[in-house]
């Protein structure tokens, strides 16, 4: 099988992964609301997906080194489509939380293996573009996922069954890919010390700056999708209006992710990340000042999505630039952990702003967060940048 065909199959699976996550978050929130679950418990329940990522992360690297990329993707994909099938079978709060954990673990396994496979086999001169395509298709799936909500009117179980079917079809195609392994040589012994956690420590030491991209993106995605609806209602927008506004962030990302990734190949990842985060600071500051103007809010979501929707993929590219290939599995795990931590901190961060500072715009808090991160990108340079051609 050619590399291009393998890439297309992997990207298809990544799209389905994004689709699954984009569907589950709003779908389970609505179904739990109908079951009478409180809003606070509903929000806590939603963290199950990201808790699954954190649980699995420390145990992912060694199996990848031992078995290769394909077994990890096949196992993760199987866990996802089986979990999706079981949601209609066990309609309870505890069972759904466990199944969320299953989806989180499975999604992280397949995304981790896919991401590492793509980053390790892509030359540096086009890495930004290729990883941007990876991020683009995940975002596309994530943006399409919420449209499955309409199928609940046909039958409550239909979204789960269709998502499981799509995942199964992508899983079948992966079976035809030839397996490959992470590069191993004598030099790895000088880089990888005794334990997985030591490799994580070395990865953070070399590439901590790049991890800020996934972390910031996790906060943004969680706040804009999970907290802004509450804040929007409080400042006078209707639920229908908010439902129209929120997807604009993800949709705008689809048009800019590849051009920004390609541009980062030319001018450098660090410079590009500093530019988009500092510009994002200005965008959210203006959004805060004019938040009661409907068209300004629309422009805020569109421009912010266009600029900041690439933070994850660009952070992954920056991480890949900063590490030797032997540490890429650990680096990709740390990117996933950083994103998950941001996704878990975001709702609490945004909710605390609304609760304790009701007169302060939610957008100001995002502007301050981006300002701090942009200053870190401007002021610091990775301790060691490795050429990975």
Domain boundaries, the chain: 1-177, 196-380
Separation between Cα atoms, residue 16 and residue 163, nearest integer Å = 8
| Long-range Cβ contact pairs of 197-201 (< 8 A, separation 24 or more) | 197/58, 199/61, 199/327, 199/330, 200/58, 200/330, 200/333, 200/334
Q: Looking at residue 149, what DSSP letter applies?
A: G
Overall average pLDDT of the 202-219 stretch: 91
Mean pLDDT, the chain, as a whole number? 84
Q: Is the pLDDT of residue 185 over 60?
A: no
More confident residue, 154 or 364: 364
- What does each C-alpha distance from 185 to 170, 188, 189, 191, 205 come to in angstroms? 33, 6, 8, 11, 22
Whole-number pLDDT of residue 187: 43
Answer yes or no: are the C-beta atoms of 339 and 214 closer than 8 Å: yes
Whole-number pLDDT of residue 115: 84
Overall average pLDDT of the 217-237 stretch: 82
Whole-number pLDDT of residue 40: 62
Q: Looking at residue 360, what DSSP letter applies?
A: S
Top-ranked range on mean pLDDT: pick from 145-154, 195-204, 286-295: 286-295
More confident residue, 240 or 167: 167
- Among 39-53, 130-144, 147-161, 209-223, the minimum mean pLDDT is found in 39-53
Q: Is the pLDDT of residue 33 over 60?
A: yes
Describe the chain by its helix, strand, coil percentages, rounded to 5: 85, 0, 15
Q: Looking at residue 223, what DSSP letter applies?
A: I
Whole-number pLDDT of residue 190: 41
Overall average pLDDT of the 349-368 stretch: 84
Please name which of 383, 374, 172 lies closest in space to residue 278, comparing C-alpha atoms: 374
Whole-number pLDDT of residue 139: 81
Separation between Cα atoms, residue 1 and residue 25, nearest integer Å = 35
Top-ranked range on mean pLDDT: pick from 52-56, 137-141, 238-242, 370-374: 370-374
Q: What architecture (CATH level 2) is domain 1-177?
A: Up-down Bundle (1.20)
Whole-number pLDDT of residue 39: 59
pLDDT in tens, 98-139: 999 999 899 889 988 898 888 788 887 787 788 888 888 888
Q: What are phi and psi of 28, to 5 degrees?
A: -70, -35
More confident residue, 304 or 185: 304
Whole-number pLDDT of residue 304: 95
Q: Which CATH class is domain 196-380?
A: mainly alpha
Q: Looking at residue 359, what DSSP letter applies?
A: T
Q: Is the pLDDT of residue 387 over 50?
A: no
Q: Is the pLDDT of residue 326 over 60?
A: yes
Where residue 188 falls among pLDDT bands split at 50, 70, 90? very low
Q: Is the pLDDT of residue 183 over 70?
A: no
Q: Is the pLDDT of residue 260 over 80?
A: yes
Answer yes or no: are the C-beta atoms of 163 and 148 closer than 8 Å: yes
Q: Is the pLDDT of residue 225 over 90?
A: no
Answer yes or no: are the C-beta atoms of 285 and 177 closer than 8 Å: no
Separation between Cα atoms, residue 169 and residue 78, nearest integer Å = 11
């Amino acid at each position: 099988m050619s590399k291009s065909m393998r890439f297309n199959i992997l990207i298809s699976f990544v799209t389905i992964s994004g689709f699954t996550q984009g569907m589950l978050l709003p779908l389970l929130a609505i179904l739990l609301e109908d079951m009478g679950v409180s809003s606070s418990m509903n929000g806590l329940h939603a963290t199950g997906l990201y808790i699954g990522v954190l649980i699995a992360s420390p145990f992912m690297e060694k199996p990848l080194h031992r078995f290769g990329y394909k077994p990890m993707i096949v196992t993760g994909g199987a866990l996802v489509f089986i979990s999706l099938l079981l949601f209609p079978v066990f309609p309870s709060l505890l069972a759904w939380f466990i199944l969320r954990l299953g989806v989180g673990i499975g999604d992280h396994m397949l995304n981790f293996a896919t991401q590492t496979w793509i980053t390790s086999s892509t030359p540096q001169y086009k890495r930004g573009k290729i990883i941007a395509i990876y991020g683009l298709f995940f975002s596309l799936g994530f943006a399409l996922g919420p449209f499955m909500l309409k199928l609940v009117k046909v039958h409550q179980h239909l979204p789960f069954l269709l998502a499981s079917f799509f995942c199964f079809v992508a899983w079948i195609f992966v079976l035809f890919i030839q397996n490959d392994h992470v590069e191993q040589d004598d030099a790895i012994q000088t880089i990888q010390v005794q334990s997985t956690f030591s490799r994580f420590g070395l990865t953070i030491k070399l590439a901590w700056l790049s991890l800020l991209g996934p972390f910031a993106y996790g906060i943004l995605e969680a706040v804009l999708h999970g907290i802004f609806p509450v804040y929007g209602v409080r400042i006078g927008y209707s639920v229908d209006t908010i439902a129209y506004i929120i997807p604009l962030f993800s949709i705008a990302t689809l048009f800019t992710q590849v051009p920004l990734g390609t541009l980062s190949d030319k001018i450098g990842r660090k410079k590009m990340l500093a530019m988009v985060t500092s510009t994002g600071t200005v965008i959210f500051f203006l959004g805060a000042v004019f938040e009661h103007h409907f068209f300004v809010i629309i422009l805020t979501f569109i421009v912010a999505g266009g600029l900041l929707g690439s933070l994850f993929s660009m952070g992954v590219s920056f991480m890949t630039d900063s590490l030797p290939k032997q540490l890429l599995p650990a680096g990709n795990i740390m990117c996933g952990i950083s994103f998950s931590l941001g996704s878990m901190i975001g709702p609490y961060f945004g909710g605390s702003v609304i609760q304790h500072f009701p007169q302060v715009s939610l957008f100001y808090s995002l502007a301050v967060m981006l300002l701090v991160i942009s200053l870190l990108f401007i002021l610091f340079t990775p301790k060691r940048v490795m050429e990975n051609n």
